[in-house]
Amino acid sequence: ATADLRIFLDTARGVAREAGALIRAAFDGRSHAIDFKETNAADLVTQTDRAVEDLCLRRLAEAFPEHAFIGEETTSAAAPAARTALGDRPTWIIDPVDGTMNFCHGFPFTAVSIGLCIGRRPVVGVVFNPILDQLFHAAEGLGAFVETPAGTQALPLSPAAVPPTLTTALLATEYGAGKEPHVLEPKIATIRRIVTRPVAGRGIRSVGSAALSMCLVAEGSVDAYYEAGIHAWDVCAGIVIVREAGGVAVNWTPPAGAAAVADEPIDVMARSVLCVRGVKGAATGSQAAAQAALVGQLRA
Ligand code: IPD
**Highest-scoring range by mean pLDDT, 18-32, 108-122, 273-287:** 108-122
Which atom of ligand 1 lies closest to the CA of 233? Answer: 16
Residue pair 156/242 in contact by the 8 Å Cβ criterion:
no
What is the average pLDDT across 189-213? 88
CA distance 50 to 66: 23
More reliable by pLDDT, 36 or 6? 6
Domain 2-154 has CATH 3.40.109.10: no
Which atom of ligand 1 lies closest to the CA of 95? Answer: 16
User: What confidence tens digit (pLDDT) does each residue in 86-136 have?
Assistant: 989 999 999 999 999 999 999 999 999 999 999 999 999 999 999 999 999
User: What confidence tens digit (pLDDT) does each residue in 162-179 have?
Assistant: 778 888 899 999 987 778
Q: Is residue 229 lining ligand 1, measured as CB closer than 6 Å?
A: yes
- The residue nearest atom 5 of ligand 1, judged by CA position, is 176
Indicate the pLDDT class of residue 183, thresholds 50, 70 and 90. Answer: confident
Indicate the pLDDT class of residue 275, thresholds 50, 70 and 90. Answer: very high
Range(s) of the chain covered by CATH 3.30.540.10: 2-154
The reported pLDDT for the residue numbered 33 is 66
The reported pLDDT for the residue numbered 124 is 98
The reported pLDDT for the residue numbered 193 is 86
The reported pLDDT for the residue numbered 159 is 72
User: What confidence tens digit (pLDDT) does each residue in 46-77 have?
Assistant: 889 899 999 999 999 999 999 999 999 888 88
Q: Which CATH architecture best describes the domain 166-299?
A: 3-Layer(aba) Sandwich (3.40)
The reported pLDDT for the residue numbered 239 is 98
> Is the ipTM value over 0.85, yes or no?
yes
Look at residue 282 and tell me whether its pLDDT is greater than 60: yes
Which atom of ligand 1 lies closest to the CA of 234? Answer: 9
- The residue nearest atom 8 of ligand 1, judged by CA position, is 98
What is the average pLDDT across 134-153? 98
The reported pLDDT for the residue numbered 260 is 85
Which range is least confidently modeled, 49-63, 143-157, 277-291?
Answer: 277-291
3-state secondary structure the chain: CHHHHHHHHHHHHHHHHHHHHHHHHHCCCCCCCCEEECCEEEEEECHHHHHHHHHHHHHHHHHCCCCEEEEHHHHHHCCHHHCCCCCCCCEEEEEEEECHHHHHHCCCCCEEEEEEEECCEEEEEEEEECCCCEEEEEECCCEEEEEECCEEEECCCCCCCCCCCHHHCEEEECCCCCCCHHHHHHHHHHHHHHHCCCCCCCEEECCCCHHHHHHHHHHCCCCEEEEECCCHHHHHHHHHHHHHCCCEEECCCCCCCCCCHHHCCCCCCCCEEEEECCCCCCCHHHHHHHHHHHHHHHHC
* 98 CA to centre of ligand 1 in angstroms: 6
* 175 CA to centre of ligand 1 in angstroms: 9
What is the average pLDDT across 239-247? 97
- The residue nearest atom 2 of ligand 1, judged by CA position, is 209
Range(s) of the chain covered by CATH 3.40.190.80: 166-299
To test the ligand 1 pocket, which listed residue (46, 70, 209, 271) has its Cβ within 8 A of the most ligand atoms? 209
Q: Is residue 228 lining ligand 1, measured as CB closer than 6 Å?
A: no
Q: Of 264, 272, 298, 275, nearest to 165 (Cα)?
A: 298
More reliable by pLDDT, 139 or 254? 139
